[in-house]
């Protein structure tokens, strides 16, 4: 069942680089990461690639395979025909460090800008009571493995460096939604989502949902409901009036 596949792997660093050709053995049941590892072990020992668990749980081995953002460990070779050339490139939205490894620190900075979970002050450890049905909404978002595929695919920042300071990206807008939907979180996160994290930039093309390896419905379940919460706040006449009065006093 083995065959020789044609791979083109981007190699280089911040100063530039290009696609390098490899002919490499593929065996039954293998995934793209296996092939990258084989290239590393037999042809290019210094080929840089980030990976950890090889089971789709850590979100480290993100790359663009034939232009499509994917986890290399969860991309089976059987989805390609043996004749097909397979092109593997680093995530386009982030600066390349070397070969397939990119600098994803943008994401960690955005994570730091999301105010933490704020439980009611008087509630002691062990006293938390929540219903399963109420925690499930946020639990869906907590399935996120932080592979940042949604971040790399999002057109708001994919080719628009200038938007990066104003836009947290789907992953962290979803994090805000997750906290907003947490049954015991007392913070108000609606203005923040809109004003600080650029929720308004999202025009719900659902690319993030499409590439999510955890199949989280990022757009439908996090971003759109969050937009609705913001809109309710902005345009509900009673809330508007209440705020107006509060501001005056």
Q: Which H or E run includes 190?
A: helix 190-195
Q: How far is the CB of 211 from other proteins (least distance, A)?
A: 14
Using CB under 8 A as the binding rule, whether residue 112 contacts other proteins is answered as: yes
Q: What are phi and psi of 5, to 5 degrees?
A: -105, 155
Structural contact between residues 113 and 196, judged by C-beta atoms closer than 8 angstroms: yes
Contact pattern from residue 227 through residue 246 relative to other proteins, giving x for each residue in contact according to CB under 8 A and a dash for the rest: --------------------
Strand, helix or coil at 92? coil
Q: How far is the CB of 146 from other proteins (least distance, A)?
A: 6
Antiparallel, parallel or unpaired: β 85-89 and 3-13: parallel
Find the part of the chain contacting other proteins (CB under 8 A) among 87-95, 112-120, 153-161, 227-235. 112-120
Strand, helix or coil at 206? coil
Alpha carbons 249 and 105: distance in angstroms, whole number: 43
Please calculate the CA angle 226-105-172 and round it to the nearest 5 degrees.
5
Using CB under 8 A as the binding rule, whether residue 117 contacts other proteins is answered as: yes
Q: Chain centroid to CA 5: how far?
A: 29
The total number of residues shown for the chain amounts to 249
Applying CB under 8 A, which of residues 99, 156, 189, 207 lies at the interface with other proteins? 99
Scanning residues 157 to 216, which ones bind other proteins (CB under 8 A)? 179, 182, 185, 215
Q: How far is the CB of 231 from other proteins (least distance, A)?
A: 26
Scanning residues 39 to 78, which ones bind other proteins (CB under 8 A)? 40-41, 45-60, 74, 76
Applying CB under 8 A, which of residues 25, 66, 87, 135 lies at the interface with other proteins? 135
Using CB under 8 A as the binding rule, whether residue 128 contacts other proteins is answered as: yes
Using CB under 8 A as the binding rule, whether residue 30 contacts other proteins is answered as: yes
Alpha carbons 218 and 174: distance in angstroms, whole number: 7
Alpha carbons 175 and 130: distance in angstroms, whole number: 19
Q: Which residues bind other proteins (CB under 8 A)?
A: 13, 27-31, 34, 40-41, 45-60, 74, 76, 97-99, 101, 104, 108, 111-112, 114-117, 119, 123, 125-126, 128-132, 135, 138-139, 142-146, 179, 182, 185, 215
């Amino acid at each position: 069942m083995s065959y020789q596949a044609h791979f083109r792997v981007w190699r280089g660093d911040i100063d530039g680089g290009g696609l390098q050709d490899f002919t490499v053995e593929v065996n039954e049941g293998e995934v793209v990461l296996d092939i990258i590892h084989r290239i590393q072990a037999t042809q290019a020992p210094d080929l840089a690639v980030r990976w950890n668990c090889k089971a789709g749980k850590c979100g480290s081995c993100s790359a663009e395979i034939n232009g499509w953002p994917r986890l290399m460990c969860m991309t089976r070779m059987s989805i390609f025909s043996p004749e097909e050339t397979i092109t593997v490139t680093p995530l386009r939205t982030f600066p390349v460090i070397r070969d397939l490894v990119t600098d994803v620190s943008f994401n960690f900075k955005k994570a730091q800008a999301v105010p933490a979970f704020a439980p009611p002050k008087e509630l002691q450890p062990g006293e938390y009571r929540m219903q399963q049905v109420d925690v499930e909404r946020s639990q869906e978002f907590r399935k996120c493995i932080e592979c940042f595929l949604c971040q790399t695919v999002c057109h708001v920042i994919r080719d628009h460096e200038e938007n990066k300071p104003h836009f947290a990206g789907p992953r962290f807008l979803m994090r805000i939604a997750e906290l907003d939907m947490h049954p015991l979180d007392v913070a108000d996160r609606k203005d923040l989502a809109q004003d600080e994290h650029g929720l308004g930039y999202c025009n719900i093309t659902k690319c993030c949902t499409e590439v999510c390896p955890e199949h989280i419905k990022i757009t439908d379940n996090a971003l759109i409901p969050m937009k609705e919460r913001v809109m309710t706040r902005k345009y509900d006449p009673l809330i508007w009036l209440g705020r107006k009065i509060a501001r005056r006093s």
